[in-house]
């Protein structure tokens, strides 16, 4: 096989997209879950420590299947950090609020820091396509993914942070109903992922491109 053919095949493969997503998912999910764990431990809850979540080791935070789907579709998940706000030195609702917000805020901080690094390096946003990703492409995906993780965890759907937070804010008598409701929201998330997996590529790229363009324009100012 000639070098020209090999070069054409290499350029046709979405290597830059996959590698950029691998970096973004690993870093963003580690920061998100470590944020939960650190704040919980700081408030006196030793659950994350007992679970081995007080670490920068991404293997303790990243879920294999969630990472694989994230590489393919750009949407995945990580291992949820367990915590018990009743073990903290603060009232449980306040502790749950602080711990729940720590994950998304860690992603926002990482996003802002990455934007600052791009500005310092004089790099503009670049969408990866093929070949080896450039620094600008990796950092662009990192910014976008951290923004996405922060925003999606504001949805009141299980297992996102907003849903788990409301569990500690609603009256005790309503907790059973709220736990039952989590099954329906899990099904909704599952159906959405399945629809994404079987969606025609043209529609998938149109939706993701439109959503990315909106976020770039109105949130990131790109």
Tens-digit pLDDT profile for the chain (222 aa)? 555 544 544 455 578 999 999 999 999 999 999 999 999 999 999 999 999 999 999 999 999 888 888 888 888 889 999 999 999 999 999 999 999 999 999 999 999 999 999 999 999 999 988 788 999 999 999 999 999 999 999 988 888 899 888 888 887 666 677 777 777 777 777 788 778 777 787 887 788 888 888 889 989 999
In-domain check, residue 139: yes
Spatial separation of the C-alpha atoms in residues 86 and 6, rounded to whole Å:
59
In-domain check, residue 3: no
In-domain check, residue 4: no
Length of the chain: 222
Count each helix (H run) and each strand (E run) in the chain, helices first: 9, 0
- Tell me the Ramachandran region of residue 74: left when phi exceeds 0, alpha when psi lies from -120 to 50, beta otherwise: left
pLDDT of residue 2: 56
pLDDT of residue 206: 83
Catalytic residue among 21, 26, 30, 33: 33
In-domain check, residue 2: no
62 in Cβ contact with 26 (< 8 Å): yes
Q: And the tokens for 212? A: 């990315």
pLDDT of residue 4: 59
Is 33 known to be catalytic? yes
Spatial separation of the C-alpha atoms in residues 136 and 126, rounded to whole Å:
6
Spatial separation of the C-alpha atoms in residues 51 and 53, rounded to whole Å:
6
Q: And the tokens for 196? A: 């994404």
In-domain check, residue 1: no
For the entire predicted model, the pTM comes to 0.86
Give me the number of domains the chain comprises. 1
In-domain check, residue 158: yes
Q: Specify the DSSP class assigned to residue 62.
A: B
Q: Among all chains, which residue has been given the structure tokens 């073990």?
A: 87
In-domain check, residue 140: yes
Q: What range does the domain containing 39 cover? A: 9-220
Give how far the C-alpha of residue 193 lies from the chain's centroid of Cα atoms, to the nearest Å.
15
């Amino acid at each position: 096989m000639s070098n020209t053919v090999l070069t054409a095949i290499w350029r046709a493969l979405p290597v830059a997209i996959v590698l950029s997503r691998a970096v973004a998912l690993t870093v963003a999910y580690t920061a998100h879950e470590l944020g939960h764990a650190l704040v919980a431990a700081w408030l006196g809850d030793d659950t994350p420590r007992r679970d081995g979540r007080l670490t920068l080791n991404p293997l303790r935070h990243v879920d294999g299947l969630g990472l694989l789907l994230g590489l393919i579709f750009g949407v995945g998940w990580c291992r949820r950090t367990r915590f018990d706000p009743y073990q903290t030195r603060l009232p449980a609702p306040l502790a749950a609020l602080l711990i729940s917000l720590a994950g998304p805020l860690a992603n926002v901080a990482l996003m802002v820091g990455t934007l600052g690094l791009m500005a310092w390096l004089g790099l503009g946003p670049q969408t990866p396509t093929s070949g080896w990703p450039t620094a600008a492409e990796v950092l662009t995906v990192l910014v976008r993914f951290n923004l996405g993780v922060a925003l999606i965890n504001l949805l009141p759907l299980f297992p996102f942070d907003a849903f788990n937070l409301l569990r500690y804010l609603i009256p005790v008598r309503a907790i059973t109903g709220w736990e039952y409701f989590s099954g329906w929201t899990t099904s909704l998330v599952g159906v959405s992922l399945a629809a994404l997996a079987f969606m025609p590529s043209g529609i998938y790229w149109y939706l993701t491109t439109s959503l990315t363009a909106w976020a770039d324009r109105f949130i990131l100012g790109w």
